[in-house]
Amino acid sequence: MARRTIPCLLSLLILFTAFLTTTHAQDCAPPSISANPRAYNIFSPEQEMVLGELTYERMSGELRFVRDPQIVAYIERIGERLTKYLPPTGLKFHFVIVDLSEANAFNVPGGYVFVSRKLIAFANSEDELAGVMAHELGHAVVHHVASNVSELFKKILNVSKVEDRKDITEKYNLLIERFRTKNVSRGVGESEQLDADRIGLYAMAAAGYDPNAFAMFFDRLVETKGKTGSWFTDIFGKARPDQKRLREMIKITEQLPSQCREHRQANASQDFLKWQADVVSYRETNRKEELPALIWKKELTPRLKSDISHFAFTSDGKYFLAQDDFAITVVRREPLEVAFQILAPDAREAAFTADGRFVVFSTENLRYEKWSIAEQKPVQVRELVVRRDCWEHGFSPDGSYLACLDYDLNLNVIETQTGKKVFEKKEFYRLSVFELLNWITAEVRDVDSDQKRFFNIEFSPESRFLAVARTSRFRYSLRFNGMVAVQSEDTLLALDLTNFKSAKTGDDLKKITRRAFIFLDENRILGMASEKIEDSGIFSFPDGKRLTKFSFGAEELQRTANPNYVIMRPLANAKMGLFDLSRNAIVSASDKVDAAIWGNVLVYESISGKVLISDARYDETQKILKTTPITTIDIPVASIGQLYAAELSSNFQWLAVSTKTRGAIWNLGSGERKLFVRGFRGALLADDGSGIGEFPKQEPLNHNLAFLNPLKNEAKSLREIPEKGANQYGSFLLIRRNPNVLTKDVPKDDKAAAGKSAIEPSLRENVRFELRSVVNDKLVWSRDFPKEAPRYFFDQFSGRLIMFWTLGSEVGKAKLIEDANLAARARDLQNVADDYLIEIVDAFAGKPVGTILLDTGRHSFYIRSAVSEANWLVLHDTQNRVLVFALKEGDLRHRFFGARAAINPARNQIVVENYPGELTFYDLATGESQARLNLAGAAAFVRFSLDGKKLFVLSGAQTAYAFDVEKLCANVSTPTK
């Protein structure tokens, strides 16, 4: 089966001797395995386990592991049962459940076997899962991956020997950094897969599992439909590799000694199904905290709320839901109270079923959940598997069906309960080169994902009908002599889900469904005309007869629980509007992201973050929907999400935090929120709590810096700053502008200057960087970049600007010509054009403090973030590594696996979040770990005090911690001057 591993170089030919001999037939002993002499492996079992630990740490930044001890214990029991019957390997095996978007399992060196949650959901029995795990153990037994890594070490690093942990760690990181410097073939050979199958099938049979289960699982997963091919199809090339492999599996299974089959055990199916449900529905809750040297711990009160992006009512109006980036909150309307909350950080828009008894939602990874309102728990959770993955998809309102357009653009309808395909239309649509080019251009422009869809997928409210149509997006039209020669086709499928038969539709309906459309009920569609908005209206379904004619247009339509109203997004002057179908008019416009209406009850989010419940009635005189507030309700905060700004006063008494739309300042002595404002993008805090924040443009105010006073609960604008190219970083304002464009100081009557200022210059070339004090606007440093402007990071705590260019750029080449020492260092790095030249400027001193050359191994990795303090530059890269450089010496000193990192400004020390919520302190002089903290959840913000004696941590759950670093870490060296 497919494996995601460290890249493989060569297929290994493994010889299995005496596998089906009489001796084995008598006692079902494990096969004797001897590696082919050409198999190359430089790792001893102990060294391979070190390699495995490093790989696990590296993967932890990009994959989410299920760490619940009770859930993991079940899969470990299966693993222990299988490994009893494997030949000695010298490895200690580890079994890990990982949250992947595909049904997959793989192994990495050192005995680590990973099984995706989706694969567990796809398995029909413990026997099937055991077969998958046994196959991966088969790879581990003969050290396939360790052998592949050995080949990579040899070909890329010219390394043929490794020693202790430090040596392996160094070479492993070098492999990551130089992986793209040489073109090496990768892939898993058929012989490797078959060898793993042979070992795995023996092990699962000897352990008492049904070996036939693995073949059944494989057949279902790769959709071979029982076809195994034959010698004839092999010769003429008509048998797929998957079919050949299935045939070999069946043959091996049939030849297993009867003594192996006698070990067959009855595995409790109900235990497996219960555990499977626990795995599929698992959500990480608060982990056990380990907080040595804790000074204080404060819950921020009230916490900052995430923006609510979606509302919906039940058909009877008894409940409504409010959904933000992390949770779906179900609210009872009478009496008004929160019924329960579902943690769902990756959910698409949730909905109520038509009968109002369940909440349903799905994810991009084809995870589907159905929650009972009465029981306040999930009653159905499915992880659906589609062989070719879904390019675009949608779930029916009742959650019974998934409509999926796969990457071959076949339209599939899958029953969610069983995972069976109940309808398929091959090549539903063929995309032309022109359509794909239009799509790629939109990707480059970073067009909103909602506007990137090729197809509209809509279900009727009762889930009886499905309509799939080609959208108006990314279309093309070629004309010749004024006539249309070729253009994108209109395509519409109307499917009756009661019998899975397609219904005949008219051409008018094909045109209407190009743009956004919705089912009003089982028999009517509301759609918008593509050419004349006055031709929009309501049409019968599926024949497409016009019933009414409207004049309206929008990018998105949404049903409401009041049949008279439809939500439209966006309007010309508002984010959202309510369209009254009975009056053929927009009766309400708002800058809210979403709202929901049932009868005369309207719910939406207020500026404060509370949900406002209002009475909404049409005013015949003013021709608008007038609202009267009734009451409000607070929605529990699940997590803070992405921080747009965070700042801490030097005395650890005040904290400023902002999300996209909301910001606040808290007194950390009490944990109490003292100032609540709209979202800001940068902040500076004094020890008395007062501060300065950068606020984006919002009418009537332009982009500006504002004075924040939490003691008086006020925020006042200080001065405007440029709309483009101006950003606050703590004490400094960085302004990037074209030096040839005149500033706002030019007299208003200077028409020539006004015209020149109106030009929007690029900030990529001919750019001036200016660092100004946010307090008095005094210029502290500036530099012109007449050619390529640098990309940059700014460490607001240290006040260091970290700029970088590629060595192949004009700036990079010029720097090497100017500086002989730099040029010599570049030659040591082979002066690859894709490598980086990094320059660090101290804003407080107004001068450069160091230059680093970074060898990326032809972009084997990229930089995600950077901080700098004292003699250190710390980079976080795309391989989940924290790279530590010494500025004066210009060399790479340490590599740690992890993401978030903070440097101690008074000591040679760094803290790294290796795993979400797990922070490790390292001595930068030696690279050795000193102490560890475990929080209940991931960290959102980490900072040392200026004297280096304390550490502050803010968790995603908005809990603040302060730790005594001196007690936590003894014998830490002072920083290099």
The CB-based long-range contact list for 17-25 (8 Å cut-off, 24+ gap) reads: 19/198, 19/202, 20/255, 20/257, 24/257, 25/257, 25/258, 25/259
pLDDT-based confidence at residue 489 (cuts at 50, 70, 90) = confident
pLDDT-based confidence at residue 19 (cuts at 50, 70, 90) = very low
The pLDDT tens digits of the residues spanning 164-200 come to: 999 999 999 999 888 878 877 655 567 778 888 888 8
The half-sphere exposure of 165 on its side-chain side, counting CA atoms within 13 A, is 7
Asked if 293 and 953 count as a contact pair (C-beta separation under 8 A), the reply is no
Asked if 402 and 418 count as a contact pair (C-beta separation under 8 A), the reply is no
Query: Which CA distances in Å does 92 have to 68, 109, 112, 712?
Result: 20, 11, 8, 61
The answer on pLDDT for 9 being more than 60 is no
Asked if 662 and 304 count as a contact pair (C-beta separation under 8 A), the reply is yes
The pLDDT tens digits of the residues spanning 962-972 come to: 999 999 987 55
The half-sphere exposure of 96 on its side-chain side, counting CA atoms within 13 A, is 22
Distance CA 744, CA 758 (A): 11
Distance CA 702, CA 235 (A): 73
**Please, what is the Cα angle at 928 between 925 and 931, to 5 degrees?**
115
Give strand ranges (E) for 258-308: 294-299
If one compares 305 and 600, the residue with the highest pLDDT of the two is 600
Residue 268's pLDDT is 64
Bond prior to 257 in cis (omega within 30° of 0): no
Distance CA 562, CA 625 (A): 14
Asked if 135 and 1 count as a contact pair (C-beta separation under 8 A), the reply is yes
DSSP states along 587-646? EEEES-S-EEEETTEEEEE-TTSPEEEEEEEEETTTTEEEEEEEEEEPPPP----S-SEE
If one compares 639 and 231, the residue with the highest pLDDT of the two is 639
Distance CA 349, CA 512 (A): 24
Residue 11's pLDDT is 33
Residue 186's pLDDT is 55
Residue 221's pLDDT is 80
Residue 466's pLDDT is 96
Asked if 297 and 961 count as a contact pair (C-beta separation under 8 A), the reply is yes
If one compares 805 and 748, the residue with the highest pLDDT of the two is 805
The answer on pLDDT for 38 being more than 90 is no
Q: Would you give the DSSP letter of residue 745?
A: T
Q: Is 718 exposed, middle or buried (0-12, 13-18, 19+ CB in 10 A)?
A: middle
Residue 519's pLDDT is 96
Q: Is 231 exposed, middle or buried (0-12, 13-18, 19+ CB in 10 A)?
A: exposed
Span 796-820, average pLDDT: 91
If one compares 745 and 225, the residue with the highest pLDDT of the two is 225
The answer on pLDDT for 755 being more than 60 is no
Q: What percentage of the chain has pLDDT greater than the value 90?
A: 55
The pLDDT tens digits of the residues spanning 897-940 come to: 888 999 999 999 999 999 889 999 999 999 999 999 999 889 99
Bond prior to 241 in cis (omega within 30° of 0): no
Q: Would you give the DSSP letter of residue 93?
A: P
Bond prior to 570 in cis (omega within 30° of 0): yes
If one compares 731 and 551, the residue with the highest pLDDT of the two is 731
What tokens were used for 421? 């395909």
The answer on pLDDT for 224 being more than 80 is no
Span 50-70, average pLDDT: 86
Distance CA 711, CA 723 (A): 29
Q: Residue 843: which of 764, 791, 773, 784 has the closest Cα?
A: 773
End-to-end Cα distance, the chain: 55
Asked if 360 and 350 count as a contact pair (C-beta separation under 8 A), the reply is yes
Bond prior to 761 in cis (omega within 30° of 0): no
Q: Is 422 exposed, middle or buried (0-12, 13-18, 19+ CB in 10 A)?
A: middle
Query: Which CA distances in Å does 490 have to 186, 511, 515?
Result: 42, 7, 11
pLDDT-based confidence at residue 451 (cuts at 50, 70, 90) = low
What tokens were used for 69? 């001890």
Residue 201's pLDDT is 86
Beta bridge partners of 769: 736, 783
DSSP states along 885-923? EETTTTEEEEEEE-S-EEE-TTSSEEEEEEETTEEEEEE
Distance CA 500, CA 423 (A): 7
The answer on pLDDT for 975 being more than 70 is no
If one compares 17 and 44, the residue with the highest pLDDT of the two is 44
Mean pLDDT (the chain) is 85
The pLDDT tens digits of the residues spanning 98-114 come to: 987 788 899 999 999 99
The pLDDT tens digits of the residues spanning 492-544 come to: 999 999 999 999 988 788 888 989 999 999 999 999 887 788 888 999 999 99
Residue 614's pLDDT is 96
pLDDT-based confidence at residue 600 (cuts at 50, 70, 90) = very high
pLDDT-based confidence at residue 250 (cuts at 50, 70, 90) = confident
If one compares 657 and 473, the residue with the highest pLDDT of the two is 657
The answer on pLDDT for 864 being more than 90 is yes
> Helix, strand or coil for residue 213?
helix
Distance CA 909, CA 887 (A): 15
What tokens were used for 961? 């911690």
Distance CA 484, CA 918 (A): 62
pLDDT-based confidence at residue 564 (cuts at 50, 70, 90) = very high
Beta bridge partners of 503: 494
If one compares 46 and 661, the residue with the highest pLDDT of the two is 46
The pLDDT tens digits of the residues spanning 809-854 come to: 888 888 888 888 888 888 877 657 788 999 999 999 989 999 999 9
Q: What percentage of the chain has pLDDT greater than the value 70?
A: 87
Q: Is 452 exposed, middle or buried (0-12, 13-18, 19+ CB in 10 A)?
A: middle
Distance CA 319, CA 601 (A): 12
Give strand ranges (E) for 1-152: 14-17, 32-35, 64-66, 94-99, 105-108, 112-116
If one compares 859 and 728, the residue with the highest pLDDT of the two is 728
Distance CA 607, CA 698 (A): 13
If one compares 877 and 181, the residue with the highest pLDDT of the two is 877
Beta bridge partners of 961: 297, 953
If one compares 808 and 695, the residue with the highest pLDDT of the two is 695
Residue 740's pLDDT is 79
pLDDT-based confidence at residue 403 (cuts at 50, 70, 90) = very high
pLDDT-based confidence at residue 1 (cuts at 50, 70, 90) = very low
The answer on pLDDT for 10 being more than 60 is no
What tokens were used for 542? 């599926």
If one compares 717 and 9, the residue with the highest pLDDT of the two is 717
Residue 60's pLDDT is 79
pTM, entire model: 0.77
Residue 266's pLDDT is 65
The DSSP H or E segment spanning 253 is helix 241-255
Q: Is 266 exposed, middle or buried (0-12, 13-18, 19+ CB in 10 A)?
A: exposed
The answer on pLDDT for 582 being more than 80 is yes
Residue 345's pLDDT is 83
The pLDDT tens digits of the residues spanning 409-436 come to: 999 999 988 888 999 999 999 888 787 8
Q: Residue 781: which of 801, 803, 761 has the closest Cα?
A: 801
Asked if 369 and 381 count as a contact pair (C-beta separation under 8 A), the reply is yes
**Please, what is the Cα angle at 687 between 684 and 690, to 5 degrees?**
55
The answer on pLDDT for 482 being more than 70 is no
Residue 37's pLDDT is 46
Bond prior to 345 in cis (omega within 30° of 0): no
What tokens were used for 15? 């010889």
Place of tokens 């404002």: 677
